[in-house]
Structure 1
Amino acid sequence: MALQTGLYYPYVHLRDESWAKAAALYWRNLARVVPAGFPVQDRGVIKELNQDSGFLVDTDPRLAVEAVAPAFVEAIQDNAEALRARFAVEDRRFSSRWQSSPRLVPTTRDLTGLYPEEVPAELEDVLKESGLAYRDWRHTVGHQQVSWVVVDPTLAWTYKCAITEELARRTAFAPVTDQLDAYTATGEWTAERITGTLLGSATPTVGREAAQAKMAMMAVKCVLPADLRHVPTDKIVRLRTQYAEEFAAFAAAVEAATADVVGATQEVTDRGAFELHLQGAFDLHLARPLESLRKAMNGLKLDTIFTTLTIKPEVTVPGAGLAWLLGGTATAVGTGIAFAALATRQAAARQRDSLVASSPVGYLLRVEKELKPATVLRRAGRAMARTAGVGI
């Protein structure tokens, strides 16, 4: 059974609406880390995607937080001076703006805030004692004022990744994010790795834990229109429900492809090399089958079927022609021919449906066809074809 739940990080609120639409075309559910008491304020497309579908699942990180906090306490206590030299907040307390969510790659000396329920008391005390954190009430979520543990963005990001990895281990959810470079920020977060990451001495990991999420998003995005923002949310929801069996077959294919590449690269330690293996598996298991399916579908030329059913009167029939020969039955025969043509088109359409349903990438073709921008004339033509039972 393919994994159907992604674990979104590092934020609570999804930041990119186009990314959220793409994610909804693969993940049956998308879990997100929501500490107890956090005031969730979804709006717009995110709210529409979640309405009546249960797409988003709020997951309390309390147990994961309790599991990873001791390693951070150890890392900070053992390296307080070096960490303070890089991430001290006291001298920036009144001169720096700060954000209520961590940034991936800080470009300024701005600070950020962690929600207190994500920071156990012992860890918060150590952070404060080392000059790496302070409490602030300045920022709100929605209309609710919230207390924050204010820290350097790099420290916050590292902590968020550790929580996510532990939560993924406990839930078997697959870490997924809309932050471009975040897929490599996974792995076991020991005190040594925390120290190495914060002080810049850690060896980059290859990102095997997030390989399935990356593979899935590569596959989905290869069939999406250029501007997904203008695709109605209800189309996304309909695709998720109307083609549930093909959706499941595609998810299984992604998981199988990911398992193949991860199993074959256990000894690979170079991130660039691993990315090449991942791309190769994507091409072999998903991109090439999709192209083959496209070619097979194009081989069924439904629009030309009528040309094989035209009537050619014999040249020996006297001048009255075909209408004289058929008499009053001409209309009935013509109607019969039309029904025969329609039946032929329907048979070809069933063959197309069978091809799509039997392919592990059939769901991708459905997405490509359904979301491709179309003219009014093409939309009308597709509506008529579906009414006649010959459109996919």
Structure 2
Amino acid sequence: MALQTGLYYPYVHLRDESWAKAAALYWRNLARVVPAGFRVRDNAVVRDLNEGTGFLVNTDPRQAAEAVAPLFVAAVRDNAEALRDRFAVRGRVLAGVAPRLAPTTRSLTGLYPQEVPGELLHALRESGLATLDWRRRTHGSAWVAVDPALAWAYKCAITDELARRTAFTPVTDQVEAHSATGDWTSERIAEVLLDRLAPAVGHEAVEARVAMMAVRCVLPADLRNVPVEKIVRLRTQYADEFVAFAAAVDSAAADVVEVAREVTEHAAFELHLQAAFDLHVAQPLESLRKAINGLKMETISTAFTIKPEATVSGAGLGMLFGGTATAVGAGIAFTALATRQAAARERDALVATSPAGYLLRVEKELKPTTVLRRAVRLVGRTAGVGI
């Protein structure tokens, strides 16, 4: 199944503008967890990415939260003392409030009230793992303040449940020990919270890893300075190439899942991932680059070395204007035109049929152009092969 919709977590707002631009180049849509009544305040870049394309999709987590809550209730009640030793809120400070006695005390973070069903809120407060933050209210309900690590685990579990219900792929711009995907039983919840579970090697959501690797390899270093308009144009103008690219990502992900299904060593898994990426994405991209470059050289050579008199149009114009120089110039012009048109058709066929065609479009559109590269591109366009 080709890449369609990613499921962003653990936050509502996309915090990294460069990451948001990159994500817009490999996800057709990006869903995010937005509880009912939550006021979204996107920055200008995210708003512009979403405008006119419907890139972002809001997903209500209430039903997923209701499904996950009993698992957290069981984990809390079975491990109350151990969890309290690590995540007790007593004596802690709320985010944004300066601590009075212990400046090094880690602050608490807030969960939106609609994300925390009543039974879970009761279990957390009863165990000393949550308190109400009345500084932040939604429709008369206070936010639920908890330890950031507990909030992270809860968000991951909700995201996993949402992914199961929607067939979206969890994706995040945050580097953390545990991913949103996996079997979030009450036992696993306790193991994650108490650091008894080693980080997963990354089998889940392999396609998201491959896609990001692919897009990153052709993006300019200063993506933050790339205008949003260029990102939007790439999304809309090259939809066919995107489909071929998504199919290549799927093939690479399927290879990794098949070969590394039982792999538990992180380094070994990364090697399998890189090998699949090289086979299905990197190598086709390099082959396409070489083919396009070779086409340019061949076309330019043909356009400027063929004898203009060999063409009917060249000979006819020579007789019409009665001048050798004029005939030569006209012959070259008409020959170059015919060669350019043929080369353009061949180039378009190469790009359209290659799984890396979309990536080449991204690379050409977004990388800054120096004076030398502009000159080379001008020659390429004259020959009809500039992308």
Partner of 1:299: 294
Q: Residues 156 and 256 from structure 1, CA distance in 2 versus in 1: closer, same or farther, beyond 3 angstroms?
A: same
Q: Secondary structure at the match of 2:40?
A: coil
Residue of structure 2 in register with 1:317 after alignment: none
Equivalent positions of 1:103-182 (< 5 A) are 109-139=106-136, 147-181=142-176
Provide TM-score, normalisation by structure 1.
0.87
Q: 1:168-210: per-residue Cα shift (whole Å, max 9, x none)? A: 1111111111113467442010010000011111133222222
- Residues of 1 paired with 2:290 and 2:376: CA distance? 22
Q: For residue 86 of structure 2, what is the aligned residue in structure 1?
A: 86
Provide the residue aligned with 1:318 in structure 2.
none
AA at the equivalent of 1:125? H
Match of 1:263 in 2: 258
Q: Secondary structure at the match of 1:269?
A: coil
Deviation of 1:331 after TM superposition, in Å, equals 2.8
Query: Quick one: distance in 2 between partners of 1:216 and 1:36?
Result: 31
Tell me the equivalent position of 2:342. Answer: 347
Comparing 123-132 with 351-360, which one deviates more in the overlay?
351-360
1:22/1:220 contact within 8 Å kept: yes
1:187 aligns with 2:191: no
- Provide the aligned C-alpha RMSD in A: 2.8
Amino acid at match of 1:45: V
Q: 1:37 and 2:37 equivalent? A: yes
- How far the C-alpha of 1:146 sits from its partner, in A, is 8.0
Q: Distance in 1 between matches of 2:40 and 2:301?
A: 55
Partner AA of 1:208 in structure 2:
H
Aligned pairs for 1:311-350 (under 5 A) are: 327-328=322-323, 331=326, 334-350=329-345
Q: Which amino acid aligns with 1:127?
A: L
CA contact (8 A) 1:6 1:175 kept: yes
1:276 aligns with 2:271: yes
Deviations for 1:78-136, whole angstroms, at most 9, x for unmatched residues?
Answer: 111110000001111xxx34169xxxxxx961211111111101000110011100111
- What is residue 365 of structure 1 aligned with on the other side? 360
Distance 1:309 1:55 in 2: 50
Counterpart residue number, 1:16: 16
User: Partner of 1:246 in structure 2?
Assistant: 241
Question: How far apart in 2 are the matches of 1:119 and 1:324?
Answer: 87
- Residue matched to 2:283: 288
Q: Alpha-carbon deviation of 1:243?
A: 0.6
Deviations 1:319-360 (A, max 9, x none): xxxx99973575355323312112212211221221111111
- Which amino acid letter does the alignment assign opposite residue 43 of structure 1? N
Judge which range, 200-209 or 144-153, deviates more: 144-153
Counterparts of residues 167-246 of structure 1 (less than 5 Å): 167-181=162-176, 184-246=179-241
Could you state the TM-score of these two structures normalised by the residue count of structure 2?
0.88
Contact 1:139 1:145 in 2 (8 A): no
1:3 corresponds in structure 2 to 3
Q: What is residue 49 of structure 2 aligned with on the other side?
A: 49
Residue 322 of structure 2 aligns to a residue whose secondary structure is helix
Identity, % of aligned pairs?
70
How far is 1:241 from its partner? 0.9
CA contact (8 A) 1:139 1:147 kept: yes
Amino acid at match of 1:62: R
For residues 356 and 158 of structure 2, what CA distance do their matches in structure 1 show?
33
CA distance in 2 between partners of 1:324 and 1:339 (Å): 15
Separation in 1, partners of 2:64, 2:202: 20
User: What secondary structure is seen at the aligned counterpart in 1 of 2:135?
Assistant: coil
The one-letter code sitting in structure 2 at the alignment partner of 1:126 is A
Gaps of 5+ in 2: 98-103, 310-317
Cα 1:243–1:122, aligned 2, differ >3 Å: closer, same or farther?
same
1:209 aligned counterpart, secondary structure: coil
Q: Distance in 1 between matches of 2:126 and 2:178?
A: 32
Paired amino acid for 1:263: E
**Cα separation, 1, equivalents of 2:383 and 2:84:** 71
The alpha carbon displacement at 1:277 in A equals 1.3
Q: Residues 131-183 of structure 1, C-alpha deviation per residue, up to 9 Å, x if partnerless?
A: 10011132589xx9983100000000000110111111111111111113467
Once the two structures are overlaid, the 10-residue window that deviates more, 162-171 or 264-273, is 264-273
Any conservation in 2 of the 1:7–1:168 contact (CA below 8 Å)?
Answer: yes
Specify the code of the residue in structure 2 equivalent to 1:191: S
Counterparts of 1:25 and 1:145, CA distance in 2: 40
How many angstroms apart in 2 are the aligned matches of 1:325 and 1:186?
75
| Contact 2:304–2:336 under 8 Å retained in 1 | no
Q: In 2 relative to 1, CA 348–325 (structure 1 residues): closer, same or farther, beyond 3 Å?
A: closer
Distance of aligned partners of 1:387 and 1:293 in 2 relative to their CA distance in 1, 3 Å threshold: closer
Q: By how many angstroms is 1:391 displaced?
A: 3.0
Shift of the 62–178 alpha-carbon distance from structure 1 to 2, 3 Å rule, reads same
The equivalent residue for 1:64 is 64
CA deviations on 1:50-76 (whole Å, 9 max, x unpaired) are: 001100000111111111110000000
